[in-house]
Structure 1
Amino acid sequence: MKTKAFLLTGLFLLIAFMIACNALSPNRGFQFLTNYQKNPDGTVTFTLSVRNESLKEIELISSSSQLYDIEVYENPGVLVWNWAHDKSFLALMTSITLQPGEERVFRETWDVRSNDGQPVVPGNYRVRTHLVTKPSASYSFDITL
Structure 2
Amino acid sequence: MRDDPTFLAWCSGTLNLSTHNKTERPWTALMTAVTNRGVVVRRARIVSEPISDYVRFEYDVTPGNVAAGEQVRWLPRRQATDLALPGNDFWLFDETTLLLNHFDGDGNFVDHELITDPRVSEHCAAAFETVWGRSIPHEEYRPA
Fold similarity call, TM over 0.5 = no
Q: Which structure's residues are more often strand, by fraction?
A: 1
Whose Rg is larger?
1
Q: Which structure's residues are more often helix, by fraction?
A: 2
The TM-score bracket by the shorter chain reads: under 0.3
TM-score, scaled to structure 2? 0.20
TM-score, scaled to structure 1? 0.20
